Structure 1
Amino acid sequence: MGALAIEDESFGDLLRSWRQRRRVSQLDLAIEAEVSARHLSFLETGRARPSREMVMKLSEELEVPLRHRNRLLVAAGFAPVFPEREARAPVVRQALDKILAGHEPYPAIVVDAAWNLVAANAPAAMFMDGVPEELLKEPVNMMRLSLHPEAMGGRLVNLAEVRAHLLHQLRRQAEASGSGQLAELHDELAAYTYPGVDLNVAHVPGPADILVPLRIRHGTRILSMFTTIATFGTPLDVTVAELAIETFWPNDDETAAVFQQHSSS
């Protein structure tokens, strides 16, 4: 997919790579960071060494993910600043558990930066129904599960539009984060084939359409849902910054009734 790779660990090259990824000129970045364009040029060519405060300032202006801010700090000769704790740390786990439980009877999941499943509530088990054991081995990747023809991809009624939306989302995340892992996942998912399914069908939104629904066969029914994604505000931990909470909501009364029935049975 042609994602810009970040391989060289020199500070100047890493800085230039992130500036180019964000499509920001040296002059514009210098203005935003309140330094001279000449000094910024020297930082990129290695003729000047940044202070730790300068690394943090430039990282903030370029919206560099915390994991890669640590890499910039190390490349500049400083110790990493942002810790990388377990997602199961008590304060984080308590918050996640309350959010997941509070969203029942509807599904909710927590994923990491690579879309690997971290936690889920009981209703989210519907996404695993009938899925081959090979796809359920740790770590379970929810993007893969969503589009694999032997998982949800084979049960999506509106596969073409959901697939297009998810691949676009994944491509943008790979480009924004500099993640080769996400780029590889995008290419894997884009190569899936679905015999008899026209992937070029484009849905033209109608006057009542608000969101792209997820329409999935579940037994004899077709459930229609939309999702919201939330993240932790102002994180200072690498792991916490990369967590995303995806909650699924019924798109019609019939879908809501199905989940209500399951919760009371």
Structure 2
Amino acid sequence: MTTTLTEKRVGAMLRHWRETRRLSQLELALRADSSARHISFIETGRSRPSADMVLKLAEHLDVPVRERNDLLLAAGYAPQYRETPLDDPAMGALRAGIDQLLKGYEPYPALVVDGTYGVVAANSGIGMLLDGVAGHLLASPLNAIRLTLHPEGLAPRIRNLPEWRGHLLHQMERQIALARSAPLRALYDEVAAYPMPPAPEGAEPPAAPPTAHFALPLRIEHAGQVLSFVSSISTFNTPMDITVAELAIETLLPADRATVAFLRERADA
């Protein structure tokens, strides 16, 4: 009975991921060098997949690493992926590489966040943008989404806040649909409920910047002018640790010449 329940549980979880990825049993079977019949037997609990098969299917379904451990447990196997704290000595080389990358990107802003947008590292360009943010938002642990959308954070200075807020919330919705993370859902519910700060009295709607045709910019007021950035997010390929798998490096690239000039002048000063 225990084996049957285990097989049905892992089968249901794999079916969920297959349907999330919008693949048929045949398509998944072809990718995993299996048969549609075998995939069907796994999903209905008639066949127990080996640990290797669980991992192969998870890879072709692009299942997040944390959830791959859940699949292995559901199938009756030990987890394969560790979750090593970033301050562990074993992560020393990784931390040094991240610090070097962030420093090399200055004076442009860049930061590293974990799976719930906790800030684990940032450069001086990010520090510059945090001028005027309420002290309680800067207390550890820092959270990038909370800093951005809170009425006492960056939100009052973001000129295109409705568009940028919508982009961030949609990004979180996609992640929640894939990872089914309770902490991420709680963060989403919190920031989605933040009131929109009032627009400055008499302010004109900002004209569309020249970069709007290829990427939504972040347009933020700082030191008496509006800086414009486009965001790029990088992750680590083939991670074998949950911590590394959930890290994301976000870099803000100047989207106009005025922003480039401002940041260069600041760096020279």
3-state secondary structure, aligned to 1:10: helix
1:97 is aligned with what amino acid?
Answer: D
Q: Is the 8 A contact 1:161 1:203 kept in 2?
A: no
Within 1, Cα distance between the matches of 2:166 and 2:57?
Answer: 34
When residues 132 and 196 of structure 1 are mapped into structure 2, their CA distance, relative to the original with a 3 A threshold, is closer
Q: What residue number does 1:180 align with?
A: 182
Q: Distance in 1 between matches of 2:218 and 2:206?
A: 15
Q: Which region of structure 1 is more displaced relative to structure 2, 65-74 or 182-191?
A: 182-191
Structure 1 residues 206, 179: CA separation in 2 closer, same or farther (over 3 Å shift)?
A: same
> Could you say if the C-alpha distance between residues 228 and 12 of structure 1 is closer, same or farther in structure 2, counting changes exceeding 3 Å?
same
Q: 1:178 to 1:205 in 2, by over 3 A?
A: farther
Cα–Cα, structure 1 residues 203 and 189, in superposed 2: closer, same or farther, change >3 Å? farther
Which residue of 166, 169, 183 corresponds with 2:168?
166
Indicate the residue corresponding to 1:229 in structure 2: 233
User: Which residue does 1:49 correspond to in 2?
Assistant: 48
Q: How far does the alpha carbon of each residue in 1:89-126 deviate from its partner, in whole angstroms, 9 at most, with x for none?
A: 11211210111010011111001111110101122112
Structure 2, gaps ≥5 residues long: 1-7, 200-204
Give the 3 Å change call, closer, same or farther, for CA 95–78 of structure 1 in structure 2.
Answer: same
Deviates most, 83-92 or 142-151: 83-92
How many percent of aligned residue pairs carry the same amino acid?
49
2: CA distance between counterparts of 1:96 and 1:115?
A: 16
Give, in angstroms, the shift of residue 172 of structure 1: 1.4
Q: 1:205 to 1:252 in 2, by over 3 A?
A: closer
SS of equivalent residue, structure 1 residue 118: strand
Q: Is the contact made by 1:160 and 1:202 (CA closer than 8 Å) also made in structure 2?
A: no
Q: What is the distance in 2 between the residues matched to 1:202 and 1:259?
A: 21
SS in 2 for 1:189: helix
- 206-215 or 160-169: bigger deviation: 206-215
Change (3 A) 1:175 1:204: farther
Aligned partner of 2:196 among 194, 197, 207: 194
Return the offset for 1:205: 7.9
Alignment match, 1:249: 253
Deviations 1:182-207 (A, max 9, x none): 3332332222222545xxx9987878
1:238 corresponds in structure 2 to 242
The CA deviation string for residues 164-219 of structure 1, in whole angstroms up to 9 with x for no partner, is: 2112222112212332333332332222222545xxx9987878733211111113
Change (3 A) 1:205 1:31: farther
TM-score by length of 1: 0.86
TM-score (structure 2 length as normaliser)? 0.85
Q: Which stretches of structure 1, 4 residues or more, deviate above 6 A after TM superposition?
A: 201-208
User: Which residue of the partner structure matches residue 81 of structure 2?
Assistant: 82
Amino acid at match of 2:161: L
Say if 1:170 and 1:126 are closer, same or farther in 2 by CA, change over 3 A.
Answer: same
1:45 and 1:187, CA in 2 relative to 1: closer, same or farther beyond 3 A? same
Could you list the per-position Cα deviations for residues 34-70 of structure 1 after superposition, in whole angstroms to 9, with x for gaps in the alignment?
Answer: 3233322222232321111111111011100111111
Of 165-174 and 150-159, the range deviating more from structure 2: 165-174
Q: 1:124-166 deviations in whole A, cap 9, x for unaligned?
A: 1123222223222332110121111211111101111111211
Residue in 2 that maps onto 1:106 = 108
Letter in 2 for 1:23: R
Secondary structure in 1 matching 2:78: coil
In the alignment of these two chains, the number of paired residues is 255
Q: Which amino acid aligns with 1:252?
A: D
Distance in 2 between the 1:207 and 1:258 partners? 18
Between the two structures, name the one with larger relative contact order (CA 8 Å, sep ≥ 6): 1
- Choose 212-221 or 40-49, whichever is displaced more: 40-49
